Amino acid sequence: MEQKEYLKDSVSKVIGVIGGVSWASSDTYYRRMNEIMRDRFGSLYSANFLMYSIPFHSFAEQERQAANGDWSMMTAMMIDAAERLKAGGADFIVIASNTLNSLAGVIEEQVGIHVLNIIDAVGKEIAKKGLHKVILLGTKHTMEDGFYKNKLEEKYGLEVLLPTLEERDYINNVIFDELCNDIVVNHSRDGYKRIVNRLIQEGGEGVILGCTEIPLLVSQKDLGIPTFDSAEIHSVAAVDYATEGANCIKNLY
């Protein structure tokens, strides 16, 4: 008991990560959270978290059903993952997927654990920069369903620009056929750049990489305008929340 209390007090809250969709983005979260902890508190510090990794083939099957309007199996899968993390001792949950943050409220209500919503983390970061009109890239669900766009517009006063229907199909296909399989190719990078450049002509001041796999392909140096890497922003927000008031000694080593 004394050891458990010591760990809880000294290492901060336990982050519960729902990952696996895809494993490539889960790897990004694992690496960045640990790097942020090390940089803030010293070389021997690392993130205190649990990860439940959903097998990607299971997600892909449920994603097809969800695309047809049936979210029952997807919701059940996410609730199961959250319950496993809560039972394992997680203090709050991070969903390592922009698309599946659409279920954050359902998880909070049915599992009774706080979900650190990626949309809020991104919205706050954009607000800090003082931008008003931003481009949203992501899966078709993220771009089209409205849960992301509406929250940014209603809560953070942003105007959100979306690609055309054809461009959305292209962006989505690159995500699932290439990036989720850890395949990064130059012609897809060029395709994303063309879409962003067209939307800049419509007044886009910044661009949200609203899928946690997209930063594998493009970054601010490729796009030329303020770029909001949702996975990076979410990882920082998770460490901020986890270490708030933590009993850590900075730069001990």
Is residue 205 located within the same domain as residue 192?
yes
Q: Is the pTM of this model over 0.85?
A: yes
Is residue 196 located within the same domain as residue 239?
no
Domain that holds residue 85: 2-117+234-243
Residue 59: band (very low, low, confident or very high) from pLDDT cuts 50, 70, 90: low
Is residue 141 located within the same domain as residue 156?
yes
Q: Quote the DSSP letter at residue 228.
A: E
**Which residues make Cβ contacts (< 8 Å) with residue 169, sequence separation at least 6?**
140
Overall average pLDDT of the 202-212 stretch: 95
* 65 in a structural domain: yes
Whether residue 182 is predicted with pLDDT greater than 70 in this model: the reply is: yes
Residue 61: band (very low, low, confident or very high) from pLDDT cuts 50, 70, 90: low
Is residue 51 located within the same domain as residue 101?
yes
* CATH number of domain containing 11: 3.40.50.1860
Is residue 111 located within the same domain as residue 144?
no
Is residue 96 located within the same domain as residue 139?
no
* 52 in a structural domain: yes
pLDDT digits (tens, 9 = 90+) for 86-134: 999 999 999 999 988 999 999 999 999 999 999 999 999 999 999 999 9
Integer-rounded Cα Rg, in Å, for the chain is 18
How many folded domains does the chain comprise? 2
Is residue 145 located within the same domain as residue 207?
yes
Is residue 88 located within the same domain as residue 7?
yes
Overall average pLDDT of the 155-173 stretch: 96
* 9 in a structural domain: yes
Compute CA distances 28 → 105, 124, 171, 189, whole Å.
Answer: 24, 21, 20, 19
